[in-house]
Amino acid sequence: MKILSTLFLLLGVIATGPGIAYAQKTEALDAGKLDHLRNAPKVETPALDVPKSLGAALAPPPKTIHYDEAKSVKIVPRANGTVEEQPFVPIPILFKVNSDNLLDATSAHNVRLLAQKLAEIRRSDPAASFVIEGHASAEGNEEKNRELSSLRARRIQALLGDLSETPESQLSALGLGEDFARHGADAPDHLLQEDRRVLVVRTK
């Protein structure tokens, strides 16, 4: 299968099951993108387009978590009507099929670069915390996709914790399976590839 090096969104990979095509070689991490994680999450009041005839009587529309790829932020709604913007970076880390073992030396190198950045951020902001998210594409078994994404997120959490000396209380892992896949299961594989990824999200 082709490596889609021209697509920014293809930066991290979660292979989802037996027989699923996957990239044969990891892309090198652009370490400059990790500087985005220096930004502490911020809370903003979402704009609400209220028809003048209804005024303030109109209830805000339901809010759900979503990812703003253009700004590289995860939008998390809060009970008080505001949203928190959590900066994220897609990490180019590939795994062997049906395994949480890293695919190649470039993946291991990218983990080390990320660990260095986390340690650097924590030196300037000791309270900084992060979540390693595993994501999967929509094809295959939903339960297996979630389990595999969780295994891989925990694997990266363990590696980063050891390398950056970040405690688990500040570096958690979350397997989201195909919950936030942007393409349906019947999409071409070059689009499914975009959803097989690992994100590091700054939560504090």
Q: What helix, strand, coil percent values describe the chain, rounded to 5? A: 30, 20, 50
Residue 56 — pLDDT band, cuts 50, 70, 90?
very low
pLDDT per position as a tens digit, 153-199: 999 999 999 999 999 899 999 999 999 988 999 999 878 877 888 99
* Host H or E run for residue 61: none
Sign of CA dihedral 15, 17, 21, 25: positive
Least-confidence region, from 24-33, 110-119, 144-153: 24-33
Position with higher pLDDT, 57 vs 164 = 164
Instruction: Compute the distance between CA of residue 36 and CA of residue 62 in angstroms, rounded to an integer.
Output: 29
Q: Output the average pLDDT for the chain.
A: 81
Question: Could you tell me if 94 and 102 are in contact, meaning their C-beta atoms sit under 8 angstroms apart?
Answer: yes
Would you give the end-to-end CA distance of the chain in angstroms?
38
**Mean of pLDDT values over 45-73:** 65
128: CB partners within 8 A, 6+ apart: 40, 118, 121, 122, 170, 202, 204
Q: Residue 39 has which token pair?
A: 């930004």
Radius of gyration of the chain (CA): 18
Residue 21 — pLDDT band, cuts 50, 70, 90?
very low
**Mean of pLDDT values over 59-80:** 81
Instruction: Compute the distance between CA of residue 103 and CA of residue 89 in angstroms, rounded to an integer.
Output: 20
Instruction: Compute the distance between CA of residue 76 and CA of residue 85 in angstroms, rounded to an integer.
Output: 6
- pLDDT(63) > 80: no
Distance from chain centroid for Cα 73: 10
For the chain, which domains are there?
1-44+78-204 (3.30.1330.60)
Among candidates 202, 197, 200, which has minimal Cα distance to 13? 197
The proportion of the chain whose per-residue pLDDT surpasses 70, expressed as a percent, equals 78
Residue 79 — pLDDT band, cuts 50, 70, 90?
confident
Among candidates 78, 111, 88, 90, which has minimal Cα distance to 38? 88
pLDDT per position as a tens digit, 108-127: 999 999 999 999 999 999 99
What local confidence, expressed as pLDDT, does residue 81 receive? 83
57: CB partners within 8 A, 6+ apart: none
